[in-house]
């Protein structure tokens, strides 16, 4: 079997889909993307066409090592996201060729379902609480907030913030906890917006709400600050969505201040590399919860890896898996939007071969005729300083 073509599709609102075709009619799908840089990734994937056309798609590790080792300037979001999307598509092909789900080729499942959560939002305490109650009704057992509670550009997140700012965040998280009680779990995503001084303060103040995790309390460039943050909370600390290879995670794990690593299977080298990162984390008694604010292909890749990974604890998603209908934009590119089998806060393990999903290629081709140009917002705090999104 040989690769004959590599096709890319811009899928709204911000996704990039890759289809790898073979001379035996078996094709695989991947999702290579740096959010807001779809054009960049399209060019980066196409740079590999000359290498892949005519190659055997089943030699996944050979191709992974060639792409990584063949880059003198290696690592980083663009190269590793390129590798990631191609890697996902190759695993999809291999599973279909052998007529089995990817998780079977990773050693078989170690669980029979995957816990999943969704993010909640709102511009004030009442709206956040209402969305939390809705998520509970939808069946989620774990929710996460961040945007509504923490990212008000008009208030800002500065190196040192006011007591009133801290109290506002505490009020909002408290409103969520009051609305849902302790029947379902709650995580808070700082999104790297905080600096060490305020991360310590908020970690301490939010500890009262018995959070399941706090995510990215500082930027990954400042991971050494986790040593200080960890002193102020009993809550598990999660990070890693902006780390791109096992080598990025080495010091984080050896330092011992992280409890959950969150590599992104569309950014950190795909199924192959994130599987290795998960095994590294297990050796340090650390959990893995893959980052996935992307589309259905990325989520399907995560579920395959989660199923075969003993320390995978829960899975992020933004495609609203509870609504398995064709009207759901996140799932519309799938022929069967209900394929993930959401029930009682969990996803069932797919039985179909490869990634376990079928893409509605006619729809994907149609929407890709008008490429999206999604960009993340650029925010500034109250004194005009640029701040993290």
Active site residues: 191, 291
Beta strands in 72-218 (DSSP E): 113-120, 142-145, 185-189, 213-215
The phi and psi torsions of 20 (rounded to 5 degrees) equal: -105, 125
Q: How many other C-beta atoms lie within 10 A of the C-beta of residue 154?
A: 8
Q: Can you tell me the distance from the alpha carbon of 30 to that of 218, in angstroms, rounded to the nearest whole number?
A: 30
> What is the C-alpha separation between 264 and 81, in angstroms, rounded?
9
Residue 103: CB atoms within 10 A of its CB come to: 24
Interatomic CA distance for residues 15 and 6, integer angstroms: 16
Give the C-alpha separation, 389 to 378, whole Å: 7
Number of H helices, E strands in the chain: 14, 15
Distance CA 188, CA 183 (A): 17
Please tell me the distance from the alpha carbon of residue 123 to that of residue 47, in angstroms, as a whole number.
42
Q: What are the structure tokens assigned to 140, written together?
A: 């989620």
Alpha helices (runs of H) in 159-288, residue ranges in sequence order: 163-180, 196-206, 226-229, 246-255, 270-283
């Amino acid at each position: 079997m040989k690769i004959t073509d590599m096709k890319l599709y811009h899928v709204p609102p911000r996704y990039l889909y890759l289809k790898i075709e073979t001379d035996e009619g078996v094709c695989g799908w991947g999702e290579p993307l740096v959010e807001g840089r779809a054009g960049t990734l399209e060019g980066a994937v196409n740079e590999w066409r000359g290498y892949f056309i005519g190659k055997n798609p089943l030699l996944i590790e050979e191709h992974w090592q060639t792409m990584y080792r063949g880059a003198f300037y290696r690592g980083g979001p663009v190269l590793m996201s390129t590798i990631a999307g191609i890697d996902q598509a190759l695993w999809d092909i291999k599973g279909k060729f052998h007529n089995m789900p990817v998780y079977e080729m990773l050693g078989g499942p170690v669980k029979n379902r995957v816990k999943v959560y969704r993010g909640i939002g709102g511009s004030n305490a009442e709206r956040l609480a209402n969305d939390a109650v809705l998520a509970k009704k939808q069946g989620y057992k774990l929710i996460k907030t961040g945007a509504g509670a923490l990212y008000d550009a008009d208030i800002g997140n500065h190196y040192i913030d006011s007591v009133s700012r801290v109290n506002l965040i505490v009020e909002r998280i408290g409103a969520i906890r009051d609305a849902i009680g302790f029947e379902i779990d709650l995580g808070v995503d700082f999104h790297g917006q905080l600096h060490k001084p305020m991360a310590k303060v908020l970690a301490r103040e939010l500890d009262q709400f018995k959070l399941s995790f706090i995510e990215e309390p500082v930027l990954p460039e400042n991971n050494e600050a986790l040593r200080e943050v960890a002193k102020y909370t009993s809550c598990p600390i999660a990070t890693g969505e902006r780390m791109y290879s096992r080598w990025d995670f080495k010091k984080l794990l050896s330092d011992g201040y992280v409890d959950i690593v969150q590599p992104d299977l569309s950014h950190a080298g795909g199924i192959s590399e994130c599987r290795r990162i998960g095994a590294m984390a297990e050796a340090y008694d650390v959990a893995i919860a893959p980052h996935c604010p992307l589309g259905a292909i990325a989520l399907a890749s995560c579920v395959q890896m989660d199923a075969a990974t003993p320390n995978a604890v829960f899975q992020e998603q933004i495609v609203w898996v509870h609504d398995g209908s064709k009207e759901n934009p996140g799932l519309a590119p799938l022929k069967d939007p209900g394929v993930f089998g959401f029930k009682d806060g969990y996803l069932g393990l797919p039985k179909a071969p490869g990634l376990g999903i079928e893409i509605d290629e006619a729809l994907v081709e149609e929407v890709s005729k008008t490429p999206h140009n999604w960009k993340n917002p650029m925010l500034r705090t109250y004194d005009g300083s640029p701040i993290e999104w």
